[in-house]
Amino acid sequence: MKLNTILLLVAFSLIPAGLIAKPKKEMALQLYSIREVIGTPEKYAQKHEEVFRQLAAWGYTAVEAASYDSAKGTFYGVSPQQFRADCEAAGLECLSSHTTRDLSKEELQNHDFTEAMRWWDKTIANHKAAGMTYIVTPFGPVPRTKQEAQTLCDYYNAIGRKCAEAGLKYGYHTHSHEYQKVEDIRWIDYMMQHTDPNYLFWQMDTYWCVMGQQSPVAYIKKYPGRFAMLHIKDLYELGQSGMLGFDAIFNNADTAGLDYYVVEMEGTDGTIDIMEGVHRCAEYLLRSKFVRKSYR
């Protein structure tokens, strides 16, 4: 070994581990994961600066909100502009948000989106003001009939069209109930086949797909290009359960049409707190060679 190489290795070994730059990868955190820490306006006001700085230090580059108040037009109790500024002050991108408005029974029966679209006009404007790229419906009902299914698909297409006109992208976040059948077809398959790819992308939750006894990779291959976002989630911290093949999921990112993935945790097993769980998820992704630096 040459002397210069030896000196370089010695010098590197003397740098404290915390000061060694980590490989940069684009990864977002769904803030629902840390709802117990900053999930209310009061908690957010007290701790968001500290928490956001910590997330950035661990390697997160963006956040997905989960606390939009449509009545007030706020995120975590602050204006869209302030929420964006809070994120950017810590070096985090204000990437996306989970929010929606369900149709009432009467609206569903009458195929009437009039009032809903007024709600979405305001919501889209506030998300655009927050600098977001994506709005995602976090949960939706399973229709009882194909007629209801088609009405919901028409509704999602209408929302997506409004988002596109404003320069935003609209998505639907899947759980496990979408794999139930409506008459003779799975609800998720009906949705996929009756929504416009130009107006609706799919944010597959990888954990809930497996809990629905389905294969994330199989669905990615069945509907290529439809999954602009993914929720990367495990039973607890990533890679802990062995239930999900994250390498196979990420290796099919191009087929999925992936732009950005979002880490989410429902909770921990009780041996660590949620912030440590979020930290371990970041470490898992940073050291995983099958995860690229960016998918955009």
Residue 128 is part of a domain; what is its CATH number?
3.20.20.150
Establish if 193 belongs to a structural domain: yes
* Range of the structural domain that residue 202 is part of: 23-287
Share above pLDDT 70 across residues of the chain, in percent, rounded to a whole number? 92
- Per the listing, tokens 């609706």 go with 200
Q: What is the pLDDT of residue 10?
A: 41
Establish if 12 belongs to a structural domain: no
How confident is the model over 3-56, as pLDDT tens digits?
Answer: 444 444 444 444 444 444 456 999 999 999 999 999 999 999 999 999 999 999
String of DSSP letters for the chain:
--HHHHHHHHHHHTS-GGGSPPPP---EEEGGGGHHHH-SHHHHHHHHHHHHHHHHHHT--EEEE--EETTTTEETTB-HHHHHHHHHHTT-EEEEEE---PPPHHHHHHT--HHHHHHHHHHHHHHHHTT-SEEEE---PPPSSHHHHHHHHHHHHHHHHHHHHTT-EEEEE--SGGGSEETTEEHHHHHHHHS-TTT-EEEEEHHHHHHTT--HHHHHHHSTT--SEEEE--SSSTTSSS---HHHHHHTHHHHT-SEEEE--S---SSS-HHHHHHHHHHHHHH-TTS-S---
Q: What is the pLDDT of residue 6?
A: 42
How confident is the model over 240-277, as pLDDT tens digits?
Answer: 999 999 999 999 999 999 999 999 999 999 999 999 99
Establish if 295 belongs to a structural domain: no
Q: What is the pLDDT of residue 8?
A: 40
Establish if 294 belongs to a structural domain: no
Share above pLDDT 90 across residues of the chain, in percent, rounded to a whole number? 92
Establish if 3 belongs to a structural domain: no
Establish if 2 belongs to a structural domain: no
Strand partners, 136: 98, 171
Strand partners, 232: 263
Establish if 296 belongs to a structural domain: no
- Per the listing, tokens 């730059």 go with 21
Both tokens assigned to 291: 């995860």
Q: What is the pLDDT of residue 16?
A: 44
Cα–Cα distance measured from residue 127 to residue 81, given in angstroms and rounded to the nearest whole number: 9
Establish if 173 belongs to a structural domain: yes
Burial group, residue 294, by CB count within 10 angstroms (0-12, 13-18, 19+): exposed
Count up the domains in the chain and report the number: 1
Mean pLDDT taken over the chain: 93
Q: What is the pLDDT of residue 110?
A: 97
How confident is the model over 135-181, as pLDDT tens digits?
Answer: 999 999 999 999 999 999 999 999 999 999 999 999 999 999 999 99
Cα angle 153-164-117, degrees, rounded to a multiple of 5: 55
pLDDT surpassing 90 at residue 182: yes
**28 phi, psi to nearest 5 deg:** -110, 160
How confident is the model over 194-228, as pLDDT tens digits?
Answer: 999 999 999 999 999 999 999 999 999 999 999 99
